Amino acid sequence: MTDDERSSASLERELEQTRDRLAATIDELVDRAHPKNVVQRQVAGVKGVFVDANGDPRTDNVLKVVGGVFAFVGMLVLIRRVTS
């Protein structure tokens, strides 16, 4: 086998390996971008804010959100009273 034949075979092997890596990367990107997986990641992120690793609620964060909701509703009631 000549040097040219060896380098040609080596180049073909490298191209095949590169093609395989590219195909695996594309498959991974398609999997990550699948809507179901995106939703699961978002739900896990929100859960992480309101639930600790043991599954117990993080009352400090829950109370902050509840307080914000009450403040928002209170502002709406106040605005409706002032404008009527």
The 3-state secondary structure of 2-32 reads: CHHHHHHHHHHHHHHHHHHHHHHHHHHHHHH
The whole-angstrom separation of Cα 66 and Cα 73 is 11
Model pLDDT for residues 19-72, shown as the tens digit of each residue: 999 999 999 999 999 999 999 999 999 999 999 889 899 999 999 999 999 999
Number of domains, the chain: 1
Chain segment 27-42, per-residue pLDDT in tens: 999 999 999 999 999 9
Query: What pLDDT is stored for residue 1 in this prediction?
Result: 59
Range of the structural domain that residue 68 is part of: 3-83
